Structure 1
Amino acid sequence: MRRTRFHVPSLLAALALAFAAPARAAEEAVVIPTPAIDAAPASGIQTAVLAGGCFWGVQGVFQHTAGVVNAVSGYAGGTKATADYRMVSSGTTGHAEAVEVKYDPKKITYGKILQIFFSVVHDPTQLDRQGPDVGTQYRSAIFTTSDEQKKVADAYIAQLNGAKVYKKPIVTKIGALEAFYPAEAYHQDYLTLHPTQPYIAYNDIPKVENLKKLFADNYLEKPTLVSASKATN
């Protein structure tokens, strides 16, 4: 099943959905404990790859997170040959819409990134979907880049499940990252470039607002954009 975004058969259908709903999604921010186990201090820029539904919102949240030096929308879980938006949208490629988060461990830890991921980015109890988006390409997943990341992620999920933070068990899949493929240019910085687009306004802007509310010390008012990063390289 495909979500109603900008490739809609009828723009009127998207607008009707937006005006029939509240100005903001009734999405509650989830207050969760910090990880009991976190990654050891490291030097140099580190990488986290996360999937939690539409990559527009995931990217948007981490672009507003202090310590993140770049957040790129893309695909993980499938092959290079199928790392194409239309193919991934079929739900048959093995890919998930994912975001590659490059971060400075001196400013933010891997555990804090996971806390934000589980708290405001998405609902980790929804299997193969997020909100209106249905399919394996919208699954909740953590693609680890080291044994330590896997250890931290496994321990944190066990911690949250044990504390019964959510009404249902977390279904987030954890697996080693084989490759990450950046998405097409028109998907990058989408939340910032299209804040009034109905899907963004209803589903994703509240996530950024929740970040500001729950993680004030980690919030950046001015997002770190992919386009700005390319301009300085």
Structure 2
Amino acid sequence: MIRPVVRAASLSPSRSLWAAIVVLPLLMVAAWSVSARAAEEPVVIPAPAVDIADSGTSAVAVFAGGCFWGVQGVFQHVKGVSNAVSGYSGGAAETATYQQTGSGQTGHAETVEVTYDPSVVSYGDLLQIYFSVAHNPTQLNFQGPDHGTQYRSTIFPVTDEQAKVAADYIAQLDAAKLFSGPIVTTIEPFKAFYPAEQYHQDFLTLNPTYPYIVYNDLPKIAALRELFPNEYREEPALVGQL
């Protein structure tokens, strides 16, 4: 398998540390992995009470929920998703780079743009997966080992209808009290989506033995398979070359 070159010097401090773990004692790896996974345990939740009745063949949803490697990987394994691209939303075009976004000062969040067929999977289905297995919506400005506003839990609705369904669903889940704490997911106006650098695309699939992926993201794929068997597909929808 051809794998992208991981430029460790350009990774965020948290992920650079994960890259260094491969040379540390296995005991340290195990201890950190337990804490990381404990923060992102999947939660069984109901589907949205209100969904979008879309009769088209293609629609777009934009989600931010921590490191985009795992969020992209989850949605790539969902039936009806034709593309899931890692990138940046929330800031300006000139700061939409990994290095600048990693400063936490650009307004960007690591984001995934999901293109899907509404006749196969609905926006509500995607929201349910997003809140249940793709990330932990109760963690404010962090996910697992990654800290900063660039890792915030945010939905960027591309239509007013998406915004309403997302807001209603957050209220529904908060009222149900299924999570360990209140949902901190924000809903921000969608301005633009900027694809991330090529070496970030399909990262989970291309790097299944990378320690960060093993301990933080592969459990999400397993949870998707277990909790959403009707929506799960084995072969991911890969981005390839942008």
Higher mean C-alpha displacement, 219-228 vs 54-63: 219-228
Corresponding position: 1:114 with 2:122: no
Aligned to 2:205: 192
TM (norm. structure 2) is 0.88
Deviations 1:134-167 (A, max 9, x none): 0000000000000000010000000000111112
Whether the aligned pair in 1 keeps the contact of 2:41 and 2:136 (CA below 8 Å) is: no
Counterpart of 2:126, as a letter, is I
Residue 25 (structure 1) aligned to one of 37, 58, 61: 37
Aligned to 1:95: 108
Aligned to 2:4: none
CA 1:57–1:10 in structure 2 vs 1: closer, same or farther (change >3 Å)?
closer
Structure 1 residue 4 displacement after superposition: 2.6
Whether the aligned pair in 2 keeps the contact of 1:87 and 1:93 (CA below 8 Å) is: yes
Where does structure 1 differ by over 3 angstroms across 4 or more consecutive aligned residues?
5-11, 13-17, 19-27
Corresponding position: 1:159 with 2:160: no
What is the alpha-carbon distance in structure 2 between the residues aligned to residue 154 and residue 63 of structure 1?
A: 24
Aligned to 1:130: 143
Higher mean C-alpha displacement, 5-14 vs 95-104: 5-14
Counterpart of 1:50, as a letter, is F
Corresponding position: 1:67 with 2:80: yes
The 3-state SS of whatever aligns with 2:188 is strand
What is the alpha-carbon distance in structure 1 between the residues aligned to residue 101 and residue 54 of structure 2?
A: 36
Whether the aligned pair in 2 keeps the contact of 1:88 and 1:96 (CA below 8 Å) is: yes
The 3-state SS of whatever aligns with 1:150 is helix
Residue 168 (structure 1) aligned to one of 163, 167, 181: 181
Aligned to 1:3: 14
What is the alpha-carbon distance in structure 2 between the residues aligned to residue 5 and residue 211 of structure 1?
A: 27
Corresponding position: 1:52 with 2:65: yes
CA 1:213–1:62 in structure 2 vs 1: closer, same or farther (change >3 Å)?
same
Counterpart of 1:153, as a letter, is A
CA 1:205–1:122 in structure 2 vs 1: closer, same or farther (change >3 Å)?
same
TM (norm. structure 1) is 0.92
The number of residues matched between the two structures is: 229
Aligned to 1:143: 156
The 3-state SS of whatever aligns with 1:176 is coil
Corresponding position: 1:215 with 2:228: yes
Q: What residue ranges of structure 1 are gaps of 5+ in the alignment?
A: none
The 3-state SS of whatever aligns with 2:127 is helix
Aligned-CA RMSD value: 2.1
Q: What residue ranges of structure 2 are gaps of 5+ in the alignment?
A: 1-11
